[in-house]
Amino acid sequence: MGELQGRRAFVTGSFQGIGLGIAIALAREGVDLVLHGLADQATIDSAVAAAKSAGARRVETFVSDLRDSAATEELIKNILLGGPVDILCNNAGIQFTAPTVEMPRGKWDDIIAINLSSVFDTMRLLLPQMAERGYGRVINTASVHGLVASVAKAPYVAAKHGIIGITRVTALEYADAGTRESGGVTVNAICPGWVETALIEPQIQDRVAKFNGDRAAGIADLLSEKQPSRRMSTPDDIGQVALFLCSKSAHNITGAAIPVDGGWTSQ
């Protein structure tokens, strides 16, 4: 996709995991990157090195807490000083599990703020300048939990359902921006199921141990209850979906919530 050469992407929560996978996929197509998150310097340096190795000519980094709306406004202002943002990938998120009646009120506030309210903030601040240029891509990382529920995840499920809702609203509001030739402005959500990241590696290792070190068997057992494929996706898999959504040929894909879940939500 040479058409993305020189575009600029802002990816929240991109120093590792799915966010970094999306950033790497974009870097391979010559997209300039604005990486973001909360991480130690070694993790940040590793992400920058990976992005440059993949082909990004320009990589900027910003550290900020998305719970603070005023700080997010300042963040966007500083990012725009470096040029327009063509691609916004809202990926930052946190998780905490507990039954609803035992969920700490502060955890609800934090999860809703980072997983949902920050998406509202970045879109309201960046969509107008995308519309002015006739090209823009917003890709929100939702989850299968934006489509179905699981116990002990009330704030997370509420936030992910909210992401799909706001994705559809803004997709409608900007559906007629731009042209087929310019690429238009689209807003979509990707809904991953199980994705093989460092965050869930302890769960994988627990199952692998039960199968005498057979990683594939351990993963299949871990996924057996919900993901029929019994195969995890990788961050790069999610990145490839995001990459296609950035292409001009995807100009009429907007307001979609795309499951990448091995059949989880088809049951």
Give the pLDDT confidence of 78-109 residue by residue, as tens digits.
999 999 999 999 999 999 999 999 999 999 99
Determine the Cα–Cα distance for residues 56 and 52; give it in Å rounded to an integer: 5
- pLDDT for position 180: 95
- What DSSP string describes 233-265? B-HHHHHHHHHHHHSGGGTT--S-EEEESTTGG
Q: What is the pLDDT of residues 239-267, one digit of tens each?
A: 999 999 999 999 999 999 999 999 999 99
Please say if the pLDDT value at position 1 is more than 60. Answer: no
Q: What is the sign, positive or negative, of the torsion defined by CA atoms of 189, 193, 196, 198?
A: positive
pLDDT-derived band at 187 (thresholds 50, 70, 90) equals very high
What residues are labeled active site? Answer: 156
The average confidence (pLDDT) of the chain is 96
Which one is predicted more confidently, 234 or 202?
234
CA angle 49, 119, 60 (to 5 degrees): 25
- The residue assigned the tokens 């020189």 is 6
Please say if the pLDDT value at position 199 is more than 80. Answer: no
Q: For residue 242, give every residue at least 6 positions away whose Cβ sits within 8 Å of its Cβ, in sequence order, or none.
A: 22, 25, 26, 89, 139, 190
| C-beta of residue 4 within 8 angstroms of C-beta of residue 29 | yes
Determine phi and psi for 63, rounding to 5 degrees: -115, 125
Cα 67–chain centre separation:
17
From the list 111, 93, 255, the residue with the least C-alpha distance to 185 is 255
For the chain, the structural domain boundaries read 2-193+235-254, 196-232
pLDDT (mean) for 121-129: 98
- pLDDT for position 121: 98
Please say if the pLDDT value at position 13 is more than 80. Answer: yes
- pLDDT for position 225: 85
pLDDT (mean) for 169-192: 97
CA within 13 Å, CB half, 30:
7
- pLDDT for position 120: 98
Determine the Cα–Cα distance for residues 87 and 73; give it in Å rounded to an integer: 17
Please say if the pLDDT value at position 45 is more than 80. Answer: yes
Q: What is the sign, positive or negative, of the torsion defined by CA atoms of 110, 161, 125, 18?
A: positive
- pLDDT for position 201: 86
Question: Which DSSP state fits 28?
Answer: T
pLDDT-derived band at 2 (thresholds 50, 70, 90) equals confident
pLDDT-derived band at 198 (thresholds 50, 70, 90) equals confident
* This prediction's pTM: 0.95
Q: Which helix (H) or strand (E) holds 201?
A: helix 201-210
What angle do helix axes 215-223 and 201-210 make, rounded to 10 degrees? 110
| C-beta of residue 112 within 8 angstroms of C-beta of residue 153 | no
State the CATH class of domain 2-193+235-254.
alpha beta
Please say if the pLDDT value at position 174 is more than 60. Answer: yes
pLDDT-derived band at 200 (thresholds 50, 70, 90) equals confident
Q: For residue 162, give every residue at least 6 positions away whose Cβ sits within 8 Å of its Cβ, in sequence order, or none.
A: 112, 116
